[in-house]
């Protein structure tokens, strides 16, 4: 067993850099439940401005930010529709049902890429007293379990139009929206436009140790702030955490292009079409995912089996060119 030199399981595994720790140590703080933490306020303002919304809310996790967004868009007993592999239905442990009484249905997709016709076929707005009424649609950009897929903007616009026609709420799970913006060259404010609520993560590719921001209009964010406290997510002098997010926005956004180039190089070396790798996630289809994970770990490369025959590799801030070169050798021999 080689000491792990490349941890490709997730981009959540990054450790704060010395400069980020310095920024955290120097952060001005106050009690955020009182609205008095200047660093949290600055982060919320900055992300809201970047994404083109009135207000922002700092949340400990992306799951909490998503769930607060859904909470303010969908009432108990109403329905959210989303992709069959969406994080909000697969990886948040039933939170929408448990916390908000939300029922969900899903549309099928290939690699998580949204098709507005599939969304149209899955909604049942104003269904009357017999069937569940759809009241919101959630999209995910990039799509995690789809393989870091960037959503086609024409389809996003078509889904938004469909939602508006039927008076539905529109939530975007933008945990990796920064990756989508950097890889596509489309400004992040264009990717977030047209939604009612958008969540973004600071703790994935941006490399902060914790934190997400939910944005929306002032009224929805005020409501989400109340729900955050009710869920036990009101935090105090967390400017020390928000400072990591602000530092990441200053220093770790443009460099996501390096993660994307490395993911493409890794995928190509493993026999994938590099054009199929949109951002920082590489999906390998293999006969036995669990045994590949064990063999790779033996050689010092950590990766995740996300299905019986599917392995996920994610590049991030702590994976440099050398780590990719060495990971390619280990993975090729493990394959
Ligand atoms: C990571 C992730 C989240 C949030 O995860 P947390 O672990 O709760 O921070 C939300 N959506 C997607 C698509 C993600 O990949």
Structural domains in the chain, sorted by start = 18-251 (3.40.640.10), 255-334 (3.90.1150.10)
How far, in Å, are 52, 141, 144, 167, 312 from residue 180 at the CA level?
Answer: 16, 7, 11, 27, 18
For residue 46, give the H/E element and its range. Answer: helix 38-51
Which residues, at least 6 apart from 275, have a Cβ–Cβ distance to it below 8 Å? none
* pLDDT for residue 1: 65
Q: In sequence order, which ranges of 7-114 are alpha helices (DSSP H)?
A: 18-25, 38-51, 62-73, 87-90, 95-100
C-beta of 147 in contact with ligand 1 (< 6 A): no
CA of 126 to the centre of ligand 1 (A): 30
Contact between 106 and 138 under an 8 Å Cβ cutoff? The reply is no
Q: Is 70 helix (H, G, I), strand (E, B) or coil?
A: helix
C-beta of 151 in contact with ligand 1 (< 6 A): no
* pLDDT for residue 156: 98
* pLDDT for residue 2: 78
Q: Mind listing the pLDDT tens digit for each residue in 300-333?
A: 999 999 999 999 999 999 999 999 999 999 999 9
Residue nearest atom 15 in ligand 1 by C-alpha distance:
144
| Over residues 32-42, mean pLDDT | 98
Q: Is the pLDDT of residue 171 over 80?
A: yes
Q: Mind listing the pLDDT tens digit for each residue in 263-300?
A: 999 999 999 999 999 999 999 999 999 999 999 999 99
Q: Is the pLDDT of residue 17 over 80?
A: yes
From 63, 139, 145, mutation site for ligand 1 pocket: most ligand atoms within 8 A of C-beta: 63
Contact between 198 and 57 under an 8 Å Cβ cutoff? The reply is no
Residues of the chain with pLDDT > 90, as a percent, come to 99
Residues 251, 256, 258, 264, Cα dihedral to 10°: 170
The rounded distance, in Å, linking the Cα atoms of 6 and 3 is 9
Contact between 73 and 111 under an 8 Å Cβ cutoff? The reply is no
The rounded distance, in Å, linking the Cα atoms of 215 and 280 is 24
The rounded distance, in Å, linking the Cα atoms of 179 and 174 is 9
Torsion sign across C-alpha atoms 262, 201, 104, 92? positive
Best CA proximity match to 188, nearest among 268, 274, 253: 253
CA of 168 to the centre of ligand 1 (A): 23
Q: Mind listing the pLDDT tens digit for each residue in 55-108?
A: 999 999 999 999 999 999 999 999 999 999 999 999 999 999 999 999 999 999
The rounded distance, in Å, linking the Cα atoms of 62 and 39 is 19
CA of 130 to the centre of ligand 1 (A): 34
* pLDDT for residue 65: 98
Q: Mind listing the pLDDT tens digit for each residue in 156-167?
A: 999 999 999 999
From 59, 62, 202, 231, mutation site for ligand 1 pocket: most ligand atoms within 8 A of C-beta: 62
Contact between 147 and 83 under an 8 Å Cβ cutoff? The reply is no
Distance of CA 169 to the CA centre of its chain: 19
C-beta of 239 in contact with ligand 1 (< 6 A): no
| Strand positions, DSSP E, 120-209 | 134-140, 169-174, 197-201
169-174 and 281-285 strand pairing: unpaired
């Amino acid at each position: 067993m080689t000491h792990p030199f490349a941890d490709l399981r997730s981009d959540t595994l990054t450790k704060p850099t010395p400069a980020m720790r310095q920024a955290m140590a120097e952060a001005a703080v106050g009690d955020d439940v009182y609205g008095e933490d200047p660093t949290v306020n600055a982060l919320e303002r900055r992300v809201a401005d970047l994404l083109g919304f009135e207000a922002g809310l700092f949340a400990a996790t992306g799951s909490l930010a998503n769930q607060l967004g859904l909470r303010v868009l969908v009432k108990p007993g109403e329905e959210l529709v989303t992709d069959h592999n969406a994080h909000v239905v697969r990886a948040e442990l039933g939170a929408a049902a448990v916390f908000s009484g939300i029922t969900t249905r899903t549309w099928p997709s290939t690699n998580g890429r949204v098709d507005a016709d599939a969304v149209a076929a899955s909604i049942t707005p104003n269904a009357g007293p017999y069937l569940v009424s759809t009241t919101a649609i959630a999209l995910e950009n990039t799509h995690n379990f789809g393989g870091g897929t960037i959503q086609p903007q024409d389809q996003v616009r078509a889904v938004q139009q469909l939602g508006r026609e039927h008076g539905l709420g529109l939530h975007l799970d933008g945990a990796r929206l920064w990756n989508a913006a950097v890889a596509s060259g489309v400004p992040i404010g264009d990717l977030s436009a047209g939604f009612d609520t958008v969540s973004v993560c600071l703790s994935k590719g941006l490399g902060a140790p914790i934190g997400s921001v939910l944005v929306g209009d002032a009224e929805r964010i005020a409501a989400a702030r109340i729900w955050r406290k009710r869920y036990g997510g009101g935090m105090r002098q967390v400017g020390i955490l928000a400072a990591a997010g602000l530092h990441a926005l200053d220093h770790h956004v443009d460099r996501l292009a390096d993660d994307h180039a490395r993911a493409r190089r890794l995928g190509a070396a493993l026999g994938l079409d590099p054009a199929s790798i949109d951002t920082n996630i590489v999906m390998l289809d293999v006969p036995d995912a669990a045994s590949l994970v064990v063999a790779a770990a033996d050689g010092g490369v950590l990766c995740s089996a996300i299905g019986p025959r599917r392995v996920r590799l994610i590049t991030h801030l702590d994976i440099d060119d050398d780590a990719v070169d060495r990971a390619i050798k280990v993975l090729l021999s493990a394959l």
